[in-house]
C-alpha cells in the first residue's frame, strides 16, 4: 500500500484503484441491474414497511431507487470520488417519496444498512480469487464504504425528516381549515368536500366523533399537533385500528379541553356493528393509555353540520354520563340522549321533577322504583335487592301507579318514569358538585 493510500481521507473518495481491482469493479458495474434486483428482493423480504407496499408505482419507485444507489456506488469507486451533489439530491428525492409511501425513517435507514452489506458482499465475492486485490479491497475500499453509505444515509435522513415536517405542516393547515368549516361555516359543502378529499377523508361516509378527556396534568393538549401524534400515538393507533397513528381517514383536533377524533364507520358494515367496533377500539385505547380519563362517542353523522353535532354529543356524553353515574369510562351519547333532550325542555323537565317530588315524600317508593328499574322490571330480583317480600314490592308499585296516575305496564309511562328518575340523579349530582 502506498503512502497516499494511508493518508487519504474517506471524504475525498477512495482514490485511484489498481488496474486489477478497477477491472473487477467494471465487470460488477456492468451487472448492476442484477445487484439492484437482489437488493429489492432483500428489502421486500426482510423489512416489513417495504413488504407491505402494494401500490405498483411505489414498488417501481423502490426499484429505481435501488438501481440508482447501486450505480452511484460503482460510479464512486471508478471515479475515486464520493457521490456528487447532484447524485445526493437525487437520492434525497427518493427519501421524500418514502414519506408519502408510509415507509418509516427507521425502515429507510435499515434499507441503507442492507444495501451496504450487499454491495460489500458482492465486492468480496468478486475478488475472492485474487489475494492481492482482496488485500487492496480490505485496506483501501473498506474504510470508504462506511463513509459512502453514511453520507447517503445522512442525506436521506435529513430529506425524510424535512419532508415529514412539511407534510405535518400541510396536514395541520388542512385540518385547521376543515375544522373551521365544520364549526364556523357548515353550509360550505363544497369547501368541506374539497378539504376532506385533500386529507384522504370520505366526505360522504358517516363519521362518529370521539371526545377524549385526559388527566389534567397531561400536557399533550397544550403542545403542537405533532406533539399530540407522538404523545398519544397508542391512543390514535387504537382508535384507527392501525399501526400508524397518523393514518389517513381520520380527522382530529382539540376543542374545549378534549381531543376530538372523527372516526368513519367501517365500510360495508351496518351502523350498529360499526359503532360496536369503534367502541371496542375506544376501550382498547383506554386500556393502553393511562393518561385517558374517559371517551365519549357521538352519533354517526354526515356533512359538516353532522360532524359538528356528533362532536358536541361526544363531549356531552362524557359530561352527562359522568354526572349520572353511568358505569365505565366509555360513554355513548345514545345512552343519555333522552335525558339530554328532556333537560333541554323546561316544561317536560319540570313535569319530571314534580313526579319525582311526589315520590320523594315517601322515600320507600323512590327506592323501590329505582330498584325496579335497576333489575329490569323483574320483581323477584328487585324485592331481593330491597330485602322485602315480593308482595310488599307489588303493593309499593301499585302505590306508585296510584300516586302518580300512571300504569307500570305501559311503555310510555315506564319510559317517562325512568327518564325522570335519571334526571333526578343528574340534578342531585350537579348540586353536589
Grid look-up 439530491 returns 89
In this prediction, residue 7 carries a pLDDT of: 45
What are the structural domain ranges in the chain? 3-166, 202-335, 344-432
In this prediction, residue 3 carries a pLDDT of: 40
Instruction: Report, in angstroms and rounded to the nearest whole number, the Rg of the chain calculated over CA atoms.
Output: 33
For residue 137, the 8-state DSSP code is I
Q: What residues of the chain score a pLDDT lower than 70?
A: 1-9, 217-249, 266-273, 325-327, 343-344, 429-433
The 10 Å Cβ neighbour count of residue 101 is 17
In this prediction, residue 409 carries a pLDDT of: 87
Rounded to whole angstroms, how far apart are CA atoms 66 and 112? 10
For the domain 202-335, what is the CATH code?
3.30.70
What is this structure's pTM? 0.60
In this prediction, residue 222 carries a pLDDT of: 42
In this prediction, residue 13 carries a pLDDT of: 79
Domains 202-335 and 344-432 share a fold: no
**CATH architecture of the domain formed by 344-432:** Orthogonal Bundle (1.10)
Grid look-up 457521490 returns 83
Integer CA distances (angstroms), 302 to 195, 269, 305, 393, in order: 15, 16, 8, 47
Rounded to whole angstroms, how far apart are CA atoms 370 and 418? 8
In this prediction, residue 223 carries a pLDDT of: 47
**CATH architecture of the domain formed by 3-166:** Orthogonal Bundle (1.10)
In this prediction, residue 155 carries a pLDDT of: 94
In this prediction, residue 419 carries a pLDDT of: 82
Amino acid at each position: 500500500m502506498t503512502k497516499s493510500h494511508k493518508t487519504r481521507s474517506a471524504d475525498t473518495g477512495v482514490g485511484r484503484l489498481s488496474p486489477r481491482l478497477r477491472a473487477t469493479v467494471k465487470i460488477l458495474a456492468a451487472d448492476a441491474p442484477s445487484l439492484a434486483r437482489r437488493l429489492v428482493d432483500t428489502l421486500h423480504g426482510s423489512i416489513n414497511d417495504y413488504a407491505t407496499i402494494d401500490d405498483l408505482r411505489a414498488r417501481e419507485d423502490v426499484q429505481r431507487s435501488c438501481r440508482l444507489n447501486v450505480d452511484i456506488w460503482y460510479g464512486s469507486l471508478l471515479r475515486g470520488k464520493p457521490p456528487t451533489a447532484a447524485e445526493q439530491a437525487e437520492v434525497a428525492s427518493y427519501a421524500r417519496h418514502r414519506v408519502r409511501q408510509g415507509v418509516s425513517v427507521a425502515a429507510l435507514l435499515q434499507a441503507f444498512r442492507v444495501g451496504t452489506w450487499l454491495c460489500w458482499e458482492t465486492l468480496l465475492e468478486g475478488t475472492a480469487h485474487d489475494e492481492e486485490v482482496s488485500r487492496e479491497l480490505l485496506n483501501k475500499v473498506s474504510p470508504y464504504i462506511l463513509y459512502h453509505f453514511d453520507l447517503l444515509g445522512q442525506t436521506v435522513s435529513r430529506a425524510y425528516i424535512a419532508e415529514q415536517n412539511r407534510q405535518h405542516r400541510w396536514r395541520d393547515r388542512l385540518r385547521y381549515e376543515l375544522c373551521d368549516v365544520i364549526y364556523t361555516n357548515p353550509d360550505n359543502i363544497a369547501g368541506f368536500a374539497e378539504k376532506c378529499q385533500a386529507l384522504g377523508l370520505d366526505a360522504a361516509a358517516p363519521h362518529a366523533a370521539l371526545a377524549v378527556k385526559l388527566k389534567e396534568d397531561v400536557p399533550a393538549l397544550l403542545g403542537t399537533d405533532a406533539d399530540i401524534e407522538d404523545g398519544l400515538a397508542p391512543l390514535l393507533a387504537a382508535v384507527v385500528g392501525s399501526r400508524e397513528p397518523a393514518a389517513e381517514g381520520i380527522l382530529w383536533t382539540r376543542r374545549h379541553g378534549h381531543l376530538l377524533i372523527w372516526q368513519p364507520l367501517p365500510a360495508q358494515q351496518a351502523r350498529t356493528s360499526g359503532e360496536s367496533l369503534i367502541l371496542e377500539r375506544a376501550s382498547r385505547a383506554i386500556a393502553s393509555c393511562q393518561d385517558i380519563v374517559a371517551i365519549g362517542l357521538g352519533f354517526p353523522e354526515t356533512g359538516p353540520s353532522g360532524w359538528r353535532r356528533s362532536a358536541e354529543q361526544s363531549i356531552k356524553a362524557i359530561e352527562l354520563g359522568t354526572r349520572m353515574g353511568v358505569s365505565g369510562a366509555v360513554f355513548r351519547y345514545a345512552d343519555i340522549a333522552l335525558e339530554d333532550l328532556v333537560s333541554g325542555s323546561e316544561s317536560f323537565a319540570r313535569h319530571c321533577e314534580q313526579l319525582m317530588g311526589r315520590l320523594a315524600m315517601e322515600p320507600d317508593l323512590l327506592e323501590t322504583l329505582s330498584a325496579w328499574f335497576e333489575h329490569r322490571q323483574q320483581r323477584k330480583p328487585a324485592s331481593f335487592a330491597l330485602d322485602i317480600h315480593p308482595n310488599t314490592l307489588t303493593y309499593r308499585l301499585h302505590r306508585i301507579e296510584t300516586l302518580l296516575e300512571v300504569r307500570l305496564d305501559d311503555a310510555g309511562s315506564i319510559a317517562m318514569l325512568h327518564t325522570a328518575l335519571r334526571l333526578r340523579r343528574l340534578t342531585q349530582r350537579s348540586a353536589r358538585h
